[in-house]
Amino acid sequence: MAGFVSFVSSGPGDPELLTVKAVNRLKQADAILFDDLSSGPILQYARADADLVAVGKRANRPSPKQHAVSQLLVEYAQNGGHIVRLKSGDGGLFGRLEEELIALKQAGINYEIIPGVSSAFAAAAAAGIPLTRRLCARRIQFITGRDITGDLPDDFNLTALADPSALTVVFMGKSTFGKMQKILQEYGLPESTPALLAEAVATPEQKFTRTTMGELARMLSNDISPNPALILYGPLADLDADDD
């Protein structure tokens, strides 16, 4: 009899941000296939006899191909038992969830999806700011800064991304942000637009850099750390600013 798969979203890295349901599924799992950013202290909840299999992908590092990860997940589930596919952040946001769901459906394997705290929400919380702002940031948009080749996607809605009243969160965008910033400036978004670089969110290496889009583009052209990061730009709140 085929097993059952729980897609568990682990949040950005801090085990205290796991949901109760996520912890329960980790404790029940016979095998856990985990992303790089879901390793470390989060795996403390795994059973001592559970199989732990690293299948994570990181930019510019040797990583398993997605079809291989999907096939491995199917093979584990076909052997029976309760399998957890542990994804960082919220697996439904740029987590390649769909490919793995399709593989399970084609194999006739049942599953559930357990949501988690997205790194976007964790970054804003850790930085002490809201993502929305009354009157000046009424819309949030999440985008990826990399296509399948690692380059800047060429099918962006540039008018939307240059909207000064939208707060934009860029996932996986450090290496392409310079190119993106230049294009958006041509579409009318000033290089003085506030920007926040949030690195290694909810981990001991967490670091925030508050700057502008132009300055951030220049900074990233000279030095890109290996830490995972988000870029937020638009009408960011500055709660330390004077109201006058």
How many angstroms separate the Cα of 182 from the Cα of each of 74, 174, 189, 217, 218?
43, 14, 9, 9, 11
Establish whether 240 is a catalytic residue.
Answer: no
Structure tokens at 220: 């990233």
Q: Which of 21, 30, 51, 57 is catalytic?
A: 57
Q: Which of 35, 90, 163, 174 is catalytic?
A: 35
The Cα–Cα gap between 135 and 194 comes to 17
Q: Which residues of 196-220 are buried (b: 16+ CB within 10 A; e: fewer)?
A: bbbbbbbbeebeeebebbbebbebb
Establish whether 35 is a catalytic residue.
Answer: yes
Residues forming the active site: 35, 57
